[in-house]
Chains A and B, each alone.
Chain A
Amino acid sequence: MSGIKAVFIADTGVKGPSRTEDFYAAFLSRVRERNLQDSVQLVRTEFSGIYDKGIFLRIWPGGVMYRDVPESRIDEIIERTIISGEVIEELRYTEKPKSLRVVLRNCGKIDPECIEEYIAAGGYGALNRILKDMSPEEVIEELKVSGLRGRGGGGFPTWMKWNFTRQAQGKEKFIICNADEGDPGAYMDRSILEGDPHSVIEGMITGGYASGAQNGYLYIRAEYPIAIERVRKAINQAYEYGLLGDDILGSGFSFHLGIRLGAGAFVCGEETALTASIEGKRGTPRPRPPYPSLRGLWDEPTIINNVETLANIPPIMERGGKWFSEIGTEKSAGTKVFALTGKVRRSGLIEVPMGTTLREIVYEIGGGLETGMELKAVQTGGPSGGVIPADHLDTPVDYEHLQDLGSIMGSGGMIVMDSSDCMIDVARFYLRFCVDESCGKCPPCRIGGYQLLMILNHIAKGSGTPEHIEKINEISNIMAKASLCGLGQTAPNPVFSTLKYFTEEYLEHINDKKCRSGKCSGLLSYRIDPDKCTRCSICFKKCPVNAVKGSREEGFTISSDECIKCGECFRVCRFDAVKVR
């Protein structure tokens, strides 16, 4: 079996039919001519992860990659590369991938339920060295050099949190991992906990050592059963190996870790609500300061870090803060994991250095839009974030740039939208989420959110007035300034940012009673074009509420009073005779 060679063939074009088959056939006939078919395997690849580079080849052994390969060069490739092992420089593809896996370094590579695999991949090595050779101050200093900032959305420097807690006085101290990920469309933290739980645990032990905390909790939402199961197993294994418990690795440092389950309230991702929830109280926020790093869980100094932040700690400690600070941009070091979803061709979890542009993410990693329609906007930051319109696609993604555009990094949801997405509908969706999830403790959020949603409902229904725009700005400002916690302060963001970039769309809804994306059903009316209608009667039969009137002899019309705007007639018509306005 040894000694085989393989050629992986992929068409990296995104338009038109795949050219892989033709190329494959040509290549195969050349291979057969030379009677090499038993030792050289040709493999057609479904997907290469690369776009717009023509026919793409990867040749094994060696792994050399060629791009834009014409059929005329097949003979040369067989002779020079496959047989003689030479590299043809002018065909070679050398571009570095846009992604860089720091946090996800082990995800999909190691068995998350097996501590030995994590150790074999270098895990707990950094912790071992820290406990032996480094003082807590040195750990914090290393973290300061790295420039790591909180990945949960706020972007607060992690070393400062750790340092505040270290310097704070308390009977005991705690470190909490915030795994209450609740943004619609985001699942970065879940994947990290499911794919590499030990890296988070190692990060927490390191944080405990640096800050003096001897107890830690992972606050995970109960909707993540697989993550919980894997973390539980990982904690047990770490205890078995003496990496948790008393006198870890003979260093004299003790650290204990437990899991607390969240019932899935979005507000419990807010740190003061989170600590209240762990204490067994109702999960509602309280005013800050005092910040949890001084008075957190049971009024003791508490570090609260996001899952991704903690998963960054082991590589930083292993390779040094300087290494980390060189990735990304000056103010936003390192990488960020995003859940790329929506109308993008290749949805999934990606990790890129900070400062990568949205265009690179959507087109070079995500492969562009699956619908073939034009990109309209990218939503980042979930219900606390905003939309970034197509003409800002070249913005580098980091904390500052996104904030300047009226959005936020957030925890890392990234939803790609095309022209079939209505911005009022999008704003309404996120706002409804925040209204549902508002804990109700402070009036600006509880009342303001509801009022704002009512206004959006009016606009979507066609009963909006120009004064509503003014009201939106007024209420949004009050919510942003007067709400108790981040949920209320940022809830108007999706409305704010859509209004800022898509004012026209709002005005169209209000003045012309028109929704250009055809999403706001209240503004639609369906009509049958008698010139195109062939009287096939399919819409008549399919209409669920019998709103299509008439007969095959007389022709059909739609009764707008009875129509529920479900769009069924539009979908089933094969003659383009049903018109939407």
Chain B
Amino acid sequence: MKKPDFEKIKERQEKLSSGWVRVGMSTCGIAAGADRIYGFLGEHLKKNRLDINLRKCGCLGACYAEPLVEVEVEGMPRVLYGNVNEEMALRIIKEHIIGGRILDSGVYHLRTSEPLK
């Protein structure tokens, strides 16, 4: 009988969470081209040898702004980009992740929902 060690899993996940890029990959996101952006980001993160986690996530609810890409880099605020196309995806890597500067367009701040604390 297998029994997952909940604490160990939590610890391991926390270690992973120092830097990541998340792409909203529900039907609404994919319909707007999120799978292309996901592949594109993966390719270019690899090309730039960036040690950053690329993950999928579900629908945030802001279906009008898909594809949505959320970026967390240490020392910077967490930023949500909306209506992301390939050009923006490239800028997210070059300017935000490598350069440490938040893009001056496409930034969404969704405070319509409070996270469950």
Contact = CB atoms under 8 A, between A and B. Distances in A.
Q: By CB atoms of chain A within 10 A, which of B3, B24, B83 has the most?
A: B3
Given A195-B58, A243-B4, A108 B108 contact: no
Interface string B32-64: 000000000000000000000001111111111
Interface string A30-72: 0000000000011111111110000000101100010000000
Contacts of A108: 22, 24, 57-61, 68, 70
B6 A125 contact: yes
A89 B3 CA distance: 51
Interface string B73-107: 11111010011000000000000000011111111
Nearest to A122: B10
A1 to B, nearest CB: 4
Q: By CB atoms of chain A within 10 A, which of B61, B73, B75, B83 has the most?
A: B61
Contacts of B104: 42-44
Given A3-B75, A124-B6, A48 B109 contact: yes
B6 A45 contact: no
A289 to B, nearest CB: 37
Interface in A187-226: 187, 190-191, 194-196, 224, 226
A100 B109 contact: no
Contact of B108 (A45, A98, A187): A45
B107 A119 contact: no
Interface string A12-46: 00000000000000000000000000000111111
Nearest to B12: A116
A1 B63 CA distance: 32
A350 B62 CA distance: 8
Contacts of B70: 108
Contacts of A544: none
A409 B58 CA distance: 24
B76 A4 contact: yes
B76 A1 contact: yes
A293 B12 CA distance: 42
Q: How large is the interface on A (under 10, 10 to 19, 20 to 34, 35 or more residues)?
A: 35 or more
A117 B9 CA distance: 8
A447 interface: no
Given A97-B114, A119-B9, A226-B30, A242 B57 contact: no
Contact of B27 (A47, A65, A226, A351): A226
Contacts of A224: 27
Contact of A98 (B14, B22, B79, B112): B112
Contact of B82 (A47, A226, A247): A47
B71 to A, nearest CB: 12
Interface string A98-125: 1111101111111111101101100011
A410 interface: no
B113 to A, nearest CB: 4
B27 A348 contact: no
Contacts of A349: 59, 61, 63
Contacts of A226: 26-27, 30
Contact of A116 (B9, B24, B27, B60): B9
B56 to A, nearest CB: 5
A99 B2 contact: no
A5 to B, nearest CB: 9
Given A96-B114, A101-B115, A249-B3, A348 B62 contact: yes
A111 B62 contact: no
Contact of B107 (A43, A98, A104): A43
Nearest to A246: B1
Contacts of A44: 104-105, 107
B114 A4 contact: no
Contacts of B55: 111, 114, 117
B56 A107 contact: no
A298 interface: no
A84 interface: no
Contact of B57 (A98, A111, A243, A250): A111
Nearest to B11: A120
A241 interface: yes
A203 B38 CA distance: 30
Contact of A128 (B6, B76, B101): B6
Contacts of A99: 112-114
A46 B106 contact: yes
A315 interface: yes
B58 A191 contact: yes
A114 to B, nearest CB: 8
A530 B2 CA distance: 84
Q: By CB atoms of chain A within 10 A, which of B27, B28, B111 has the most?
A: B111
Q: By CB atoms of chain A within 10 A, which of B30, B62, B103 has the most?
A: B62
21 contacts: A4-B75, A4-B100, A6-B77, A43-B103, A65-B111, A100-B114, A100-B116, A102-B116, A104-B61, A107-B60, A108-B59, A109-B115, A120-B9, A120-B14, A124-B6, A125-B6, A187-B28, A194-B27, A247-B1, A346-B64, A349-B59
Query: Which 8 pairs between the two chains have the least Cβ-Cβ distance?
Result: A195-B58, A108-B60, A120-B13, A2-B75, A242-B2, A349-B61, A60-B77, A99-B113
Interface of B: 1-4, 6, 9-10, 12-14, 22, 24, 26-28, 30, 55-65, 68, 70, 73-77, 79, 82-83, 100-116
